[in-house]
């Protein structure tokens, strides 16, 4: 998705504490995100204070300075700070880096605030980096107690029951990267070399037994296994000696330990290549603007004493984004028509062709920026909005055509008007001269370009007003016999009738084109709606499959470790996931026909020229991918 982005020179605070100690979103930071139409990859870093989180984020931003490092025992980062930079690997993506306030700050001593900071990092990111010092041992995992409390601070559904399947959280939570700083151990188990990822998984093995101590030991491990997939681990040696550590912002890679520099590069390369685009339900890709709305929605819930709910947030965002998508589509259409239409257009077809192009682009903008459009309410509103805009443009085209035609008539018929005023035609033989001049002027007018879609109608009206003058000239022409005068009068009536027919034919062509435009509008919206429904279905199936595979892997791990009871309990989740995936895969043409019928029925109210062909279109379309 191409789109607008920003490249910030330094980070800004996204979420801070107000004077009452409550979290709030910084408006200026939202303004930055609102400018980003690109999809975003969001990487958050969390961890205990003074563990070097900010250094990693500066490396991801490609800078030595930015996020405050600090050289004392005091935590420098407060709240959540944001840095948006162009993604170094993914075209048309923005990398959003979120550096969080250090957890467990003894000066702050606010456990509740820490939990919310951790929860917001999980909610907003597509990859969560947990940074710690030393080793991944039981002490390190106990310090990560925030993960055990996530279900107390985040709900998936508003009517969620206690003990809701962890797969629901796995569906929405980010991938997980554990970075271990100042690591001094050798990566091996039982004399066998292992990778950092294996080191993490080995540390997350559960302990058999049912005592309180065993349950406390297993709780953080179970939460990490159940809520986050995939998981990775990176270990880092100490970057430099003590004196140098106090000047990290001033040091280049040449001043640091080579092994640390290489490890930092491997970590950055991993994030650049593996961190996914931030998505919502059914694979909806998040833009910077949408990320800002998410942050505001979650923080608003926290400030009001509620638990952020993922489904509720999606519903609230859908209303904001869908209304905004209509306005962005309307703005694009208006600008395109203003740029490409020169009034008056020579024909209605010329105007229609530009309308078709801009309408297609406008519908695509809406489709790409809208989601969870229940009953196609917002798409129908868009159809109505664009139809009204087109009607205004057509009306302007009519008026501009009328003005152009009247101006041409005034110029071309000026000599004839002058002769009428000075009585040149009120002489014997004058009627024939009048008719010849009228025909010459009419022929010249019809040969002129730039008259537009009302050329014949304006001419008919003008010559209709001259009918009584022609009759007077005919009556005064004594060179004509009475029979000749009757014949000339009949000829004048035939010519007037011919002009009437030409004007009617001209308007019939316009009306027929407008009816065709309405039918094309309907079909364009239906085609793009079906494409979106196909994409949503595929995303839903992929989402089910990703979670299902993670659950199957976890079940196999549990069986290998001897946790048969836990593996058996997990089967219920796995069966539910398989059922949901099968249900999504078995959607049939009647499902799509229902949606299209809704569009066709409602659209007929403001597009009376459409002829819905719902069922056949759905069957034909679905046959391509089911």
Confirm if 451 and 444 have CB atoms less than 8 A apart. Answer: no
Quick one: pLDDT at residue 160?
A: 63
Quick one: pLDDT at residue 613?
A: 55
Residue 30 to residue 7: CA distance in whole angstroms: 15
Same domain, 142 and 69: yes
Where residue 626 falls among pLDDT bands split at 50, 70, 90?
A: very low
Same domain, 136 and 17: yes
Same domain, 227 and 79: yes
Residue 198 to residue 192: CA distance in whole angstroms: 11
Give me the number of domains the chain comprises.
Answer: 4
Residue 172 lies in a domain: yes
Residue 263 lies in a domain: yes
**pLDDT above 50 (res 622):** no
**217-255 per-position pLDDT tens digit:** 999 999 999 999 999 999 999 887 766 656 666 677 788
Residue 174 to residue 189: CA distance in whole angstroms: 29
Best CA proximity match to 36, nearest among 287, 329, 297, 277: 287
Quick one: pLDDT at residue 104?
A: 61
Confirm if 317 and 290 have CB atoms less than 8 A apart. Answer: yes
Same domain, 204 and 335: no
Same domain, 485 and 546: no
Same domain, 322 and 304: no
**pLDDT above 90 (res 66):** no
List Cβ neighbours of 102 (8 Å cut-off, separation of 6 or more): 47, 48, 49, 50, 51, 53, 75, 77
20: left (phi over 0), alpha (psi -120 to 50) or beta: alpha
Mean pLDDT of 23-33: 95
Q: What is each CA distance from 544 to 163, 168, 191, 578, in whole angstroms?
A: 20, 10, 39, 8
Last residue of a domain, one of 373, 396, 419: 396
Torsion of CA 298, 304, 305, 308, to 10 degrees: -20
Same domain, 592 and 482: no
Same domain, 448 and 498: yes
Where residue 70 falls among pLDDT bands split at 50, 70, 90?
A: very low
CA pseudo-torsion sign 172, 174, 175, 180: negative
Angle value at C-alpha 13, between 9 and 19, nearest 5 degrees? 150
**pLDDT above 90 (res 470):** yes
Last residue of a domain, one of 493, 511, 529: 511
Containing domain of residue 482, as a range?
A: 405-511
Same domain, 283 and 432: no
Residue 408 to residue 412: CA distance in whole angstroms: 6
62: left (phi over 0), alpha (psi -120 to 50) or beta: left
Element (H, E) at 127: strand 127-133
Where residue 400 falls among pLDDT bands split at 50, 70, 90?
A: very high
Quick one: pLDDT at residue 240?
A: 77
Residue 99 to residue 173: CA distance in whole angstroms: 18
Residue 77 to residue 11: CA distance in whole angstroms: 11
Quick one: pLDDT at residue 71?
A: 39
Quick one: pLDDT at residue 350?
A: 96
| Parallel, antiparallel or unpaired: strands 93-100 and 39-47 | parallel
Residue 6 lies in a domain: no
Residue 1 lies in a domain: no
The lowest-confidence range among 154-158, 363-367, 496-500, 588-592 is: 588-592
Residue 272 to residue 274: CA distance in whole angstroms: 6
Q: What is each CA distance from 427 to 417, 438, 476, 479, 488, in whole angstroms?
A: 16, 17, 7, 9, 16
The tokens describing 271, both together, are 């994030």
The tokens describing 562, both together, are 């001897």
Mean pLDDT of 137-150: 87
Residue 158 to residue 137: CA distance in whole angstroms: 36
**CA 116: distance to chain centroid?**
27
**SS3 category, 510:** helix
**pLDDT above 50 (res 618):** no
Confirm if 18 and 229 have CB atoms less than 8 A apart. Answer: no
**156-210 per-position pLDDT tens digit:** 887 765 545 567 888 889 999 999 998 988 898 888 999 999 999 999 999 988 8
On the 0-12 / 13-18 / 19+ scale of CB atoms within 10 A, 246 is middle
Quick one: pLDDT at residue 13?
A: 93
Mean pLDDT of the chain: 87
Mean pLDDT of 384-390: 95
Quick one: pLDDT at residue 246?
A: 60
Residue 200 lies in a domain: yes
Confirm if 536 and 521 have CB atoms less than 8 A apart. Answer: no
Last residue of a domain, one of 511, 535, 551: 511
Residue 116 to residue 301: CA distance in whole angstroms: 11
Same domain, 65 and 197: yes
Cβ of 554: how many Cβ atoms within 10 Å?
22
**SS3 category, 527:** helix
| Parallel, antiparallel or unpaired: strands 175-181 and 127-133 | parallel
Same domain, 412 and 353: no
The tokens describing 272, both together, are 């650049």
Same domain, 432 and 543: no
**556-608 per-position pLDDT tens digit:** 988 888 888 888 888 888 888 888 778 777 765 556 667 777 777 777 777 77
On the 0-12 / 13-18 / 19+ scale of CB atoms within 10 A, 243 is exposed
Residue recorded with tokens 């004509």: 480
The tokens describing 248, both together, are 């990290």
Residue 561 to residue 173: CA distance in whole angstroms: 25
Quick one: pLDDT at residue 587?
A: 66
| Parallel, antiparallel or unpaired: strands 93-100 and 80-86 | antiparallel
Residue 354 lies in a domain: yes
Confirm if 182 and 173 have CB atoms less than 8 A apart. Answer: no
Q: What is each CA distance from 181 to 52, 240, 579, in whole angstroms?
A: 8, 12, 43
Where residue 119 falls among pLDDT bands split at 50, 70, 90?
A: very high
Mean pLDDT of 403-428: 95
Mean pLDDT of 340-347: 95
Residue 313 lies in a domain: no
Residue 74 lies in a domain: yes
Confirm if 499 and 467 have CB atoms less than 8 A apart. Answer: no
Confirm if 36 and 5 have CB atoms less than 8 A apart. Answer: yes
Helix axes 310-340, 348-369, angle to 10 degrees: 160
The better pLDDT of the pair 621, 128 is held by: 128
Mean pLDDT of 51-62: 83
372: left (phi over 0), alpha (psi -120 to 50) or beta: left
Where residue 74 falls among pLDDT bands split at 50, 70, 90?
A: very low
Quick one: pLDDT at residue 20?
A: 85
Residue recorded with tokens 């998981």: 231
The lowest-confidence range among 142-146, 280-284, 527-531 is: 280-284
Residue 452 to residue 437: CA distance in whole angstroms: 24
């Amino acid at each position: 998705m191409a789109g607008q982005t920003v490249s910030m020179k330094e980070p800004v605070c996204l979420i801070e504490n107000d004077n009452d100690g409550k979290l709030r979103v910084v408006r200026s930071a939202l303004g930055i995100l609102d400018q980003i139409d690109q999809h975003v990859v969001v990487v958050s870093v969390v961890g205990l204070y003074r563990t070097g989180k900010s250094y990693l984020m500066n490396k991801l931003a490609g800078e030595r300075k930015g996020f405050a490092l600090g050289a004392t025992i005091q935590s420098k980062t407060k709240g959540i700070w944001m840095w948006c930079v162009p993604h170094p690997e993914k075209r048309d993506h923005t990398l959003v880096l979120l550096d969080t306030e250090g957890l467990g700050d003894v000066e702050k001593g606010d456990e509740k605030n820490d939990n919310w900071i951790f929860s917001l990092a999980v909610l907003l990111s597509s990859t969560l980096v947990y940074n710690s010092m030393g080793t991944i041992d039981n002490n390190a995992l106990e310090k990560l107690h925030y993960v055990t409390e996530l279900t107390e601070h985040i709900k998936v559904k508003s009517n969620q029951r206690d003990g809701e399947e962890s797969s629901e959280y796995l569906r929405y939570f980010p991938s997980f990267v554990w970075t271990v700083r100042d690591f001094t151990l050798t990566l091996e188990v039982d004399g066998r070399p292992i990778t950092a990822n294996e080191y993490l998984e080995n540390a997350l093995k559960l302990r058999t037994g049912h005592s309180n101590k065993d349950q406390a030991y297993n709780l953080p491990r179970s939460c990490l296994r159940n809520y986050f997939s995939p998981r990775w681990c990176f270990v880092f040696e100490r970057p430099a000696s003590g004196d140098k550590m106090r000047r990290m912002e001033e040091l280049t890679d040449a001043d640091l330990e080579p092994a640390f520099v290489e490890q930092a590069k491997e970590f950055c390369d991993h994030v650049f290549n593996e961190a996914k685009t931030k998505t919502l339900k059914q694979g909806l890709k998040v833009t910077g603007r949408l990320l800002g709305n998410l942050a505001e929605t979650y923080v608003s819930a926290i400030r009001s004493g509620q638990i952020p709910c993922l489904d509720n947030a999606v519903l609230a965002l859908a209303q904001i984004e869908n209304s905004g998508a209509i306005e962005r589509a309307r703005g694009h259409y208006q600008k395109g028509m203003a740029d490409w239409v020169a009034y008056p257009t020579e024909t209605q077809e010329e105007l229609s062709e530009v309308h078709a192009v801009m309408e297609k682009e406008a519908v695509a903008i809406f489709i790409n920026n809208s989601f969870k459009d229940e009953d196609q309410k917002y798409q129908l509103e868009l159809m109505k909005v664009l139809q009204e805009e087109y009607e205004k443009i057509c009306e302007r085209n009519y008026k501009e055509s009328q003005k152009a035609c009247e101006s041409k008539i005034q110029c071309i018929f000026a000599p004839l008007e002058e002769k009428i005023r000075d009585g040149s035609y009120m002489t014997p033989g004058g009627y024939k001269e009048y008719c010849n001049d009228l025909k010459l002027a009419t022929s010249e007018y019809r040969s002129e370009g730039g008259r537009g879609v009302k050329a014949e109608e304006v001419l008919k009206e003008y010559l209709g007003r001259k009918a009584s003058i022609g009759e007077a000239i005919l009556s005064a022409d004594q060179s004509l016999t009475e029979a000749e005068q009757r014949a000339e009068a009949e000829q004048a009536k035939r010519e007037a009738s011919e002009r009437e027919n030409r004007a009617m034919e001209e308007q019939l062509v316009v009306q027929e084109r407008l009816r065709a435009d309405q039918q094309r509008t309907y079909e364009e919206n239906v085609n793009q709606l079906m494409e979106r429904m196909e994409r949503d279905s595929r995303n839903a199936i992929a989402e089910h499959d990703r979670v299902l595979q993670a659950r199957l892997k976890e079940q196999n791990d549990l069986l290998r470790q001897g946790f048969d009871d836990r593996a058996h309990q997990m089967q219920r989740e796995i069966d539910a996931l398989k059922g949901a995936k099968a249900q999504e895969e078995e959607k049939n043409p009647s499902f799509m026909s229902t949606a299209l019928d809704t569009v066709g029925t409602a659209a007929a109210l403001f597009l009376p020229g459409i002829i819905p062909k719902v069922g056949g279109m759905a069957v034909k379309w679905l046959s391509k991918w089911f």
